[in-house]
Amino acid sequence: MSAAAELLRATILHTPRNPFNTEHALEAFADGAVVLSEGRIRAAGDYTAVASAHPGAEVRDWRGSVILPGFIDTHIHFPQTRIIGGLGWPLLDWLRLHALPEELRMADTDYARAVAAEFVHELARHGTTTALVFGAHFGPATECLFEAADAAGLRIASGLVLSDRNLPDPLCQTPAEADRLSRSLIARYHGRGLLRYAVTPRFALSATEPMLEVCQALLRDHPDVLFTTHLNENCQEIAEVAAAFPWAANYLAVYDRFGLCGARSVFAHNVHTTDAELSCLSDNGAAVAHCPSSNAMLASGIFPLRRHLAARVRFALGTDVGAGTGFGMLKEALQCHMMQRVAKDAITVTPAQLLYLATAAGADALGLSAETGDFSPGKSADLVRIEALPGTPLAAAFERAETHDALLAALIAQAGTETIREVRVAGKVV
């Protein structure tokens, strides 16, 4: 063990196994420790055992705190940072009247730079260490996001948002421009530090077939970039996609025709989905970003979680800021729990499952399972230290929780940014 090793002593909670498939998947150590060195997890377990195996490690006594894996947000829009909280619209009106006017402001690169700085600050402040982010429709604004994320040390995948119809003119590119700008951004940012590129058409409704062909070519020529877009969010949107692509059997078929439904694909929402689409997602190993706050805010509907499980479709949580209500991934987990409780085919999503959806499931969706999401030795030391403020109901819950599940449930229900004491990516404080 190198002399630089650090041992963090606290209560440790993580989900190295999938709690939807395995009982007792929550791994918890009341008096636990995580050892890290050179940005990597070296061990996680009971303090006494871990400390005796790593006698040279520098000990940080964080007793009274809980350490969780860094949160992973699989769907969030950086240009919408300043418009959280538009109440009362369905999706297409919200886009036209609330979101797109703000996205147009990203043409001003100074404005975009300021928003990008706020955006990465908010991610870190909420304990989010990894995110798949919708960039802007403008190259320079998208560069601002990459630069800000790189400077902050966050693990971000993002890309220029592509559109060539049905949006205000300044938000559209020609397919040739989209191709040229995307390739230039991929060359500059994909693989730089912790950054990765994601090919990002806004949604099928704002893309022509030549634009989808550009996406296909970008993925073909760059075998490790991601793909992300929206799918089956709102019934009116689905009807308009069907009218725009009359040859498509369903919404997903539009993307699938261009080879865009694969193991590198993350589709946001999929609220109103068919069994054929679920099979296609599952067969191709594609993932879904489930954004319960946004689904409620825009009255899009309740995510068919049971059907995704039954079809073995991978899914993880996303905040969908700015249609979502904020950057907090524990709050998003709580919203998931609450909406599934009131769903017609109600399911009680357990605290361990919720933690998994906010951490390891996100890593899996983004192809980062070997790198982050839990505290298995060798993974990147991406973590959040949470400590309840003294005298609060959460502090009382910390003291009296009889089980790790109860402690985790209290955290999911109550822990806000005021409880987040430290956030690290690859061992470094962000």
Closest to Zn ion by CB, 171 vs 409, is 171
Q: Provide the residue type at 284 as one letter.
A: N
Pairing between β-strand 226-231 and β-strand 196-201 as defined by DSSP bridges: parallel
User: Residue 225 has which token pair?
Assistant: 């970039």
How many angstroms separate the most distant Cα atoms in the chain? 67
Pairing of strands 58-69, 40-46: unpaired
DSSP output for 280-323: HHHHHT-EEEE-HHHHHHTT-----HHHHHHTT-EEEE---TTT
Q: Which is nearer to Zn ion, 268 or 339 (CB)?
A: 268
Q: Toward Zn ion, which CB reaches closer, 233 or 387?
A: 233
Q: Report the distance separating Cα 353 and Cα 342, nearest Å.
A: 17
Q: How far apart are CA 113 and CA 135, in angstroms?
A: 12
Applying CB under 5 A, does 73 fall inside the site for Zn ion? Answer: no
* Interacting span for Zn ion (CB under 5 A) from 64-72, 136-144, 255-263, 316-324: 316-324
Minimum distance, C-beta of residue 181 to Zn ion, in the bound complex (Å): 21
Find the shortest distance in angstroms from Cβ 424 to Zn ion.
Answer: 28
The nearer residue to Zn ion, 73 or 387, going by C-beta atoms, is 73
Map the footprint of Zn ion across residues 24-43, applying CB under 5 A: none
Taking the complex as a whole, the smallest distance from the CB of residue 320 to Zn ion amounts, in Å, to 5
CB 318, min distance to Zn ion, A: 8
Asked if residue 388 lies in contact with residue 419, where contact means CB atoms within 8 angstroms, the answer is yes
In the chain, count of helices (H) and strands (E)? 17, 16
Closest approach, Cβ 268 to Zn ion, in A, equals 5
Q: Restricting to residues 257-276, name those near Zn ion by CB under 5 A.
A: 268
Taking the complex as a whole, how short is the minimal distance between the CB of residue 198 and Zn ion, in angstroms? 13
Q: Measured between alpha carbons, how far is 194 from 368 in angstroms, rounded to an integer?
A: 11
Nearest to 69 by CA among 343, 396, 414, 368: 368
Q: Under rule CB under 5 A, how many of the chain's residues touch Zn ion? A: 2
Q: Which is nearer to Zn ion, 271 or 381 (CB)?
A: 271
Closest residue to Zn ion, judged by C-beta, is: 320
Q: Which is nearer to Zn ion, 10 or 83 (CB)?
A: 83
Amino acid at 67: I
Query: Nearer to Zn ion by C-beta: 320 or 382?
Result: 320
Tokens of 76: 């969030």
Q: Applying CB under 5 A, which part among 40-48, 194-202, 212-220, 320-328 lies near Zn ion?
A: 320-328
Residue 233 engages Zn ion in binding (rule: CB under 5 A): no
What residues have CB less than 8 Å from 27, skipping those under 6 apart?
12, 13, 14, 15, 16, 17, 44, 374
Of 320, 332, 364, 387, the one binding Zn ion (CB under 5 A) is 320
From 3-11, 28-36, 239-247, 319-327, give the range in contact with Zn ion by CB under 5 A. 319-327
The nearer residue to Zn ion, 64 or 168, going by C-beta atoms, is 168
Give me the long-range contacts of 96-102 (CB less than 8 A, separation at least 24): 99/322, 99/323, 100/167, 100/168, 100/171, 102/322
Number of neighbours of residue 63 by Cβ within 10 angstroms: 12
| 319 contacts: CB under 8 Å, gap ≥ 6 | 73, 75, 76, 291, 293, 294, 325, 326, 327, 328, 329, 332
Do the bridges between strand 128-134 and strand 40-46 make them parallel or antiparallel, or are there none, so unpaired? unpaired
Question: Which is closer to Zn ion, CB of 219 or CB of 268?
Answer: 268
Which residue's CB is nearer to Zn ion, number 228 or number 380? 228
8 A C-beta contact, residue 171 and residue 211: no
Question: Binding of Zn ion at residue 122 (CB under 5 A)?
Answer: no
Binding site for Zn ion (CB under 5 A): 268, 320
